[in-house]
Amino acid sequence: MRTTLIILSMLFVVACDHTATDTTRDNLHPVKCVVAQPLKYVSRDFAALTTADDAVNLAFKIGGRVVDIPVAKGVMVKRGELLAELDGRDVALQVESARAAYTEARLRYERAVRLLEHDAISRQEVESLENTMTQARSAYENVLDLQNDTRITAPFDGVVERTYVDAFQRVASGETIVRVVNPVSTTVGFTAPESIVTILSDSTTRFSVEFDAYPDVQFKAVIKSFARTSSDALGFPVSLRLVDVDTLRYKISPGMTCIATVTTPQGDVHAVSLPLTAIYAPVSGGDYVWVVDSDNRVELRRVMLGVPVGRSSIEILSGVDAGDRVVVAGVYKLKEGDSVRIIQ
């Protein structure tokens, strides 16, 4: 009997110890942590859009009545293909008139040359008739060129983006008739803030582009051009050029949305990077993080934030050192000195 009581007592003590241990473990705040990493590069993302590499508005050099527009919006065209044509009857009449004037001037000059051989006309009159013939010939050649100006053809392989007039409509010289664009684009445009304009042309700056249509695929890019002034205070237009793009696999055309990433070296050697979820911003103000010490207790530290890093992290200029363990989940459930249980 006595032996039985001793065994039961020992089992009760062990059970109490396990219960106490389990209760202590349950009272710990479960949190997720990351180790602060030194920030060597800063990446900034900008909403961007592809633009046409080649685009042109086409117009007639002369006015007249449009007789044919054999293309429509969205149609693929080949270089040299007819896009629009004017009624050529007016030009034909001008050609006949100019040809007649030139023929008459040439005949007068030739007759004057024969008369000069018999001293029946002065050399000055012959020279005057020669000048008249030269002017008439020039006018005739110019009118002949107008025959080519009654047709608009595609300057390169592309897509008709828009037509601006209809058939049988009368148009003026220089009025836009049709717009053709290259359907394959390697140009990406976005608007940059003043803070990065000075480093866009730096040799250490790197560019990449990610398209909504091709997520998780990073396309390398280089700077193509950027504006150094901004009169409307809305930012500085920047153009990038994609390099080494497999155009057979990736169909990139004008108007596609994407994210342009600009990566620059970080000048502050003490800066670190943390996920945005690590920032604790109480209603009283300020920016803080919870740092976990070696005893798994949390310490509240005020931090100075820098610029966003990528899409989910931020630069920390002070308050956290590289190697510190920082809470990234459950930051609003903690208080100073709390013991935590780190979960994976």
Domain ranges of the chain: 29-39+269-342, 44-53+182-265, 57-87+150-181, 88-149
Q: Tell me what the mean pLDDT of segment 155-159 comes to.
A: 91
Does position 21 have pLDDT exceeding 80, yes or no? no
**For residue 29, what pLDDT is reported?**
81
Q: Assign residue 80 a region: left if phi > 0, alpha if psi is -120 to 50, beta otherwise? A: left
Q: Which CATH number fits domain 57-87+150-181: 3.60.15.10, 3.65.10.10, 3.30.470.20, 2.40.50.100?
A: 2.40.50.100
On whether the pTM is more than 0.75, the answer is no
129: pLDDT strictly greater than 50: yes
CATH code, residues 88-149: 1.10.287.470
Read off the pLDDT band of 25 (50, 70, 90): very low
Rg of the chain in Å (alpha carbons): 39
CATH T-level assignment (fold) for domain 44-53+182-265? Elongation Factor Tu (Ef-tu); domain 3 (2.40.30)
Higher local confidence (pLDDT), 271 or 2:
271
Q: Is the pLDDT of residue 160 over 90?
A: yes
CA pair distance 71, 283, nearest whole angstrom = 62
Among 10-24, 66-80, 86-100, 136-150, which stretch is predicted with the lowest mean pLDDT? 10-24
Any idea which of 21-35, 102-116, 185-199, 267-281 has the lowest mean pLDDT?
Answer: 21-35
pLDDT for 14 beyond 60:
no
Q: How does the average pLDDT of the chain come out, rounded?
A: 85
Res. 269: pLDDT tops 50:
yes
pLDDT of 8 strictly over 70 = no
Query: Is 80 exceeded by the pLDDT of residue 137?
Result: yes
For the segment 309-335, the average pLDDT, to the nearest whole number, is 87
What was the pLDDT predicted at 26? 52
Dist CA 97 CA 92 (whole Å): 9
> Please, are residues 143 and 98 in contact by the beta-carbon 8 Å criterion?
yes
Instruction: Look up residue 318 and give its two tokens.
Output: 């002070």
Q: With 90 as the cut, is the pLDDT of residue 139 above it?
A: no
